[in-house]
Amino acid sequence: MTSDLQSRLQGAVGGTYRVERELGGGGMSRVFLAEETELGRKVVIKVLPPEMAAGVNVDRFRREIQLAARLQHPHVVQLLTAGASGDLLYYIMPFIQGESLRAKLAREGELPIPEAARILREVVDALAYAHRHGVVHRDIKPDNVLLSEGHAVVTDFGVAKAVSEATGSGMSLTSLGVALGTPAYMAPEQAVADPHVDHRADIYAVGILAYEMVCGRLPFSAGTPQALLAAHVTEAPEPATRHRTTVPEALNALIMRCLEKKAADRWQRAEELLPHLDAVLTPTGGITPTGTQPHPAVTVSDAARAYAQAHPARVAALFAVSSAVVLFVVYAVVQLAGLPDWVFYGAIALLAVGLPIMLLTGRHERQRAVATMAGTPMATPTGVQRHFTWRKALIGGGLAFAGLTVVAGGYMAMRLFGIGPVGSLVASGVLADRERIVLAEFENLTQDSTLGQTVTELFRIDLTQSPTVTVLEDAQVRNVLRRMQQPADARVTHEVAADIAAREGLKAILSGELRALGSGFVLSAQLVAAGTGEVLWAGRENAVGADQLSVAIDKLSASVRERIGESLRTIRADAPLDQVTTSSLEALQLYAQADRANNNGDIPGAMALLDRAIALDSNFAMAYRKLGVHLSNTGLDPERMKRALTKGYELRSKLTDRERYLAEAMYSSNVAEDPDATIVAYQALLEKYPSDRTALNNLANEYAGKNRLAEAVELHQRAIASGGAPAVTYQNAVARSYSLGQVDTARQLLAKFAADYPANPNVRTFAATIVAAERDWDSAQVLYQAARAERRGNALQEIGPVFSLANLAAVRGKVTESRALVREGQRLAAQAGLPFARLLPSEEIRDLNDDAVKALLIHGDPGRAVRLLQELLRRDPPTRYPADQRPYLGYADAFARAGRVDLANDMVRRWEAEVADSATRQDPGAQWHNVRGMIALTEGRLEDALAARRRAKEKSPGCGPCNLFDFAEIHDRAGRPDSAIAYYEQWVNAKDFGRLGWDSGLLWRARRRVGELYEARGDRERALAYYSDLLEQWKNADAELQPILAEVKARMGRLAGEGRQ
């Protein structure tokens, strides 16, 4: 390696120099000794490593070297020339006989003070000269200081800067190495890569150099270069006198000023150091001998300055500025650390006491100054006056604030560890973190009968912001009342709340009362232990008027939350109630009434009350969000639902954190239709409120929509385990556990649902759905009929059992009964005001539709099906429906199944041309891909059909059996009987809570076709099993289905005959 580089270097310098040998390397270069052939003098050639030279702009490097080469000074090693050849970049300077300062320090350690000061002066002299000529070294260190003939000379002037400037931004800090400095001698501004580094970085390096010469060590040490750089930036160096007591104070002061972190605090020019170094080099070292130092005296000018400084206006102004800074710091600490407010008020009190003390101290200092200027010595102060000095005043202030700090720290420690009366209820073990409590309705002793309900709801809203305590929602309270066999709308007095707490195992009850006081109110509340009746906390606040009730509730709520154990920091972070609800008391009253109506099952009444609340305050974000939720749950008016949720989303800054996350999630889910954003919003809510039942349930719904059923069930079970989960959470948990194949878990959850909500009509419905999914249709029939009987008189609730009974009739081959039940369900939907019922065509048109479906899928008469479909299009044109609900894709699928691809493609084109939502055109859903797949299948493009079905499957990830039947049909049509059988049987055996809906139209077709495929394969036993299942399924089928059964029986007869042979 060395001989190769030496030969390449010799080729680069040609005959001008004769390269003799390599002296070694250090830092950024390899060093060679050479002889200038013309003059016969020795020179040193320093070569940059090829990897560094590759990133250097040669022209810029030469310009910087030329600037440094102009330096001519006794203590500067002059640059002779520089050159480049290929990837070699080098510069040449005279060979200096002697050794480097590094070698001397390595050999001797700390140097004698005079010698160190002399070397330092010569280095500083060289730097001062270079700086005057615009050259900054940037790499002062012992390696670059050479000692020759008793003098110090500095080498490599400008080289570091030349490499740095010529490199630009193409090389990393690591690749530059010492080109930007050496870590042990690097100024803080160099360490942080400040682009404005100037000559004062050299002054800092001089300080490091001086420190090392007099102490034999560096001021900073670290295990890694990175840690060393950090020390330059953050650590204060110890004085040189700490390591060597004989260092003169003047020299120590000079070194320490060089080592200031900020460049502005150092010596500003190298010339400034020279007189101080000259003083150190004088025989006395520039220091008056200790024994001859005079005692300090107070001069007249000092007294005049003291008199001016103690002027009352000046003292007051300085005190005001200092007080503002102190109060700002204390306030920030109070807010960030969650300290009580009295800490801030205590600081104000201490400063109020401190002001007269400082003014009196100033008065006494002025008196002393006047006496000094007059030449009349004052008598030694006695008594209290002897304490009025600046020193004692400042020490006293410091001790006062230290005392305040100790008291505040002790208070917080007692609160944190549950000690004494200030200990929080959570810390003392009375309540657990996120303990559930019940809120009793405030006793209303005013003439306004609605105020008690309103105050209670406001208290509930405020407490739901707490991450430390969980308040039972009103809906949960109403469910407990039903289980207690009390009216759901019963008033929750303190006594009723105590019964609820005992039943649910709750540890505390929060109750209160509202009294009129003149034109205002007195609001009092107390937190009581449920088991013993012990008062754990009590508070009282006054409200000047009705519009100040929310302010009083804010204060009471903050007080009880603090007592329970919540950090004051999080309490203060919550916005005031009037900012996250409404400033209109009347609107608040309507909102509270709407919430009660909703919990009593009166959804239309709740929506009407919310509309009235919004009319009073058009910025009532909570009312918009709740209205959107009701509209979403009922499906009554999708467009109105979107408007309400959008308005709530736009006003989300006026919501509590919990409500804001819910508003964002509902908007993302129902308006933007962005499931990922919906999931993010619910996850953010759960991060702050891990037991929030709404977020747990709705996030589970989103996971289920992505076929993440296991995660969905886990969230449902988490909500149930936390206590007080709503009925819908149990229902979703049952359905999704079953769809996962966890039948036993689904039954256990259903049993818990029945125990916790015995009066809920969906308990019977869900039991029926499970037995229907297990194909125990007789038991399902009994349960669905009982569920319908329970719901008679409530059209909205009766619809579900009626349509389930229609499916049961269909799956058992009772076509006429099924059609009648569907008509009954549609009548109930119209009665309930459901949107789809408003678009239902006449009964004659619906009969025509049913006949077309039967012709196509039951009787296998595609020609008749096409004629009926065309008649349907004529008599019930799709343009009668809203653009996004026009049934073109349904017609397209039917025409394709009937073999009329031309008509199917025409329907697709009309859908693409007329559909209102451009986003749907760009990203069509599962139905569009299913239609494309059916068209491809009809045309014999089997692989295209499979690909389209797979894309449809991706568009409906939450659907278990979806497309299995379609895959089976495609493989069947392709002549792949084994694959067809596999998919048919997967579909038949798939666990799905909605199994009855699939079975009603497809189960008979699957059983018949699998029997036929097994028969064709010669598997007599399995073929007979599937045929037998179909006969059992349709044992009471209508007459119009008997031809199908006759054919199946004939097949079974043939197979039976074969068996007897």
Residue 525 sits at φ, ψ, to 5 deg, of: -150, 160
CATH architecture of residue range(s) 2-280? Orthogonal Bundle (1.10)
Residue 991 neighbours by CB under 8 Å, 6+ apart:
738, 739, 740, 741, 743, 773, 960
Q: What number is the average pLDDT over the span 1009-1037? A: 96
Res 958: pLDDT: 60
What span, in angstroms and rounded, lies between the C-alpha atoms of 497 and 438?
6
Q: Per-residue b/e over 732-761, b at no fewer than 16 CB within 10 Å?
A: bbbbbbbbbebeebbeebbeebbebbeebb
Q: 529: part of which helix (H) or strand (E)?
A: strand 520-529
Q: What number is the average pLDDT over the span 24-28? A: 61
What span, in angstroms and rounded, lies between the C-alpha atoms of 210 and 832?
93
What span, in angstroms and rounded, lies between the C-alpha atoms of 87 and 907?
71
Look up the CATH number of domain 976-1061. Answer: 1.25.40.10
Domain with CATH 1.25.40.10 in the chain: 581-676, 976-1061
- Respond yes or no: is residue 341 known to be catalytic: no
Each residue's pLDDT tens digit, 246-257? 999 999 999 999
Q: Which residue has the tokens 């460049």?
A: 263
Identity of the amino acid at 499? D
Compute CA distances 168 → 56, 136, 198, 604, 1010, whole Å.
8, 18, 17, 72, 75
Residue 963 neighbours by CB under 8 Å, 6+ apart:
930, 949, 950, 952, 953
Residue 700 sits at φ, ψ, to 5 deg, of: -60, -40
Residue 576 neighbours by CB under 8 Å, 6+ apart:
550, 551, 554
126 neighbors 151 (Cβ within 8 angstroms) = no
State pTM to two decimals: 0.60
Each residue's pLDDT tens digit, 901-945? 999 999 999 998 887 565 555 557 788 899 999 999 999 999 999
Angle at CA of residue 679, ends 769 and 951, nearest 5°: 70
* Radius of gyration, CA atoms only, the chain: 45
Name which of 673, 617, 671 is nearest 641 in CA terms. Answer: 671
Each residue's pLDDT tens digit, 824-867? 999 998 888 877 777 788 888 988 999 999 899 888 899 999 99
Q: Cβ–Cβ contacts within 10 Å for residue 480, how many?
A: 22
The dihedral formed by the CA atoms of 221, 223, 224 and 229, expressed in degrees to the nearest 10: -30
Compute CA distances 674 → 197, 665, 667, 875, whole Å.
51, 9, 9, 38
Residue 630 neighbours by CB under 8 Å, 6+ apart:
598, 603, 606, 607, 610
Per-residue confidence at 289, pLDDT binned at 50, 70, 90? very low
Each residue's pLDDT tens digit, 109-133? 999 999 999 999 999 999 999 999 9
Query: Is the predicted pLDDT of residue 172 greater than 70, yes or no?
Result: no
Compute CA distances 189 → 167, 233, 269, 420, whole Å.
19, 8, 17, 52
What span, in angstroms and rounded, lies between the C-alpha atoms of 836 and 656?
35
Residue 825 neighbours by CB under 8 Å, 6+ apart:
799, 802, 803, 806
Per-residue confidence at 490, pLDDT binned at 50, 70, 90? confident
631 neighbors 637 (Cβ within 8 angstroms) = yes
Residue 716 neighbours by CB under 8 Å, 6+ apart:
696, 697, 700, 725, 729, 730, 732, 733, 736
Both tokens assigned to 445: 């002793």
Three-state secondary structure string covering 913-930: HHCCCHHHHHCCCHHHHH
Name which of 673, 677, 707, 678 is nearest 920 in CA terms. Answer: 673
DSSP output for 265-334: GS-SSGGGHHHHHHHHTSTTTTS--GGGPPPP---HHHHHHHHHHT-HHHHHHHHHHHHHHHHHHHHHHH
Domain with CATH 3.40.50.10070 in the chain: 435-576
Strand partners, 154: 76, 145
Query: Is the predicted pLDDT of residue 178 greater than 50, yes or no?
Result: no
What span, in angstroms and rounded, lies between the C-alpha atoms of 154 and 79?
11
Residue 800 neighbours by CB under 8 Å, 6+ apart:
765, 787
Res 285: pLDDT: 42
Name which of 242, 239, 241, 236 is nearest 262 in CA terms. Answer: 236
361 neighbors 388 (Cβ within 8 angstroms) = yes
Q: Cβ–Cβ contacts within 10 Å for residue 43, how many?
A: 21
Both tokens assigned to 684: 């953010």
Q: What number is the average pLDDT over the span 881-905? A: 92
Q: What number is the average pLDDT over the span 226-247? A: 92
Per-residue confidence at 568, pLDDT binned at 50, 70, 90? confident
Quote the mean pLDDT of the chain.
86
What span, in angstroms and rounded, lies between the C-alpha atoms of 932 and 781?
38
Among 132-136, 348-352, 572-576, 1008-1012, which stretch is predicted with the lowest mean pLDDT? 572-576
What length does the chain have? 1061
**Helices 727-739 and 762-773 sit at what angle, rounded to 10 degrees?**
0
More confident residue, 812 or 422: 812
Res 57: pLDDT: 72
Q: Is 975 helix (H, G, I), strand (E, B) or coil?
A: coil
Res 439: pLDDT: 92
Q: Parallel, antiparallel, or unpaired: how do β-strands 435-439 and 443-445 relate?
A: unpaired
**Superfamily of 435-576 according to CATH:** TolB, N-terminal domain (3.40.50.10070)
3-state helix, strand, coil in the chain (%, to 5): 65, 10, 25
Query: Is the predicted pLDDT of residue 549 greater than 90, yes or no?
Result: no
Per-residue confidence at 300, pLDDT binned at 50, 70, 90? very low
Q: Cβ–Cβ contacts within 10 Å for residue 399, how many?
A: 10
Residue 445 sits at φ, ψ, to 5 deg, of: -110, 30
651 neighbors 580 (Cβ within 8 angstroms) = no
What span, in angstroms and rounded, lies between the C-alpha atoms of 686 and 1032?
50
Query: Is the predicted pLDDT of residue 166 greater than 80, yes or no?
Result: no
Res 28: pLDDT: 64
Res 382: pLDDT: 57
What span, in angstroms and rounded, lies between the C-alpha atoms of 262 and 198?
12
Q: Cβ–Cβ contacts within 10 Å for residue 403, how many?
A: 12
Query: Is the predicted pLDDT of residue 584 greater than 90, yes or no?
Result: no
CATH architecture of residue range(s) 581-676? Alpha Horseshoe (1.25)
Q: What number is the average pLDDT over the span 1011-1029? A: 96
Number of helices and strands in the chain (H, E): 50, 14
Domain with CATH 1.10.510.10 in the chain: 2-280
**Helices 390-417 and 341-374 sit at what angle, rounded to 10 degrees?**
170
Q: What number is the average pLDDT over the span 1044-1051? A: 95
Res 267: pLDDT: 96
The dihedral formed by the CA atoms of 812, 816, 817 and 818, expressed in degrees to the nearest 10: 70
Residue 1022 neighbours by CB under 8 Å, 6+ apart:
1010, 1011, 1014
Query: Is the predicted pLDDT of residue 615 greater than 90, yes or no?
Result: yes
Both tokens assigned to 685: 């809510």
Res 296: pLDDT: 41
Query: Is the predicted pLDDT of residue 174 greater than 50, yes or no?
Result: no
Q: Cβ–Cβ contacts within 10 Å for residue 839, how many?
A: 10
Query: Is the predicted pLDDT of residue 694 greater than 70, yes or no?
Result: yes
Given the residues 125, 139, 156, 657, the one annotated as active site: 139
Residue 935 neighbours by CB under 8 Å, 6+ apart:
892, 896, 901, 904, 905, 908
What span, in angstroms and rounded, lies between the C-alpha atoms of 510 and 529?
9
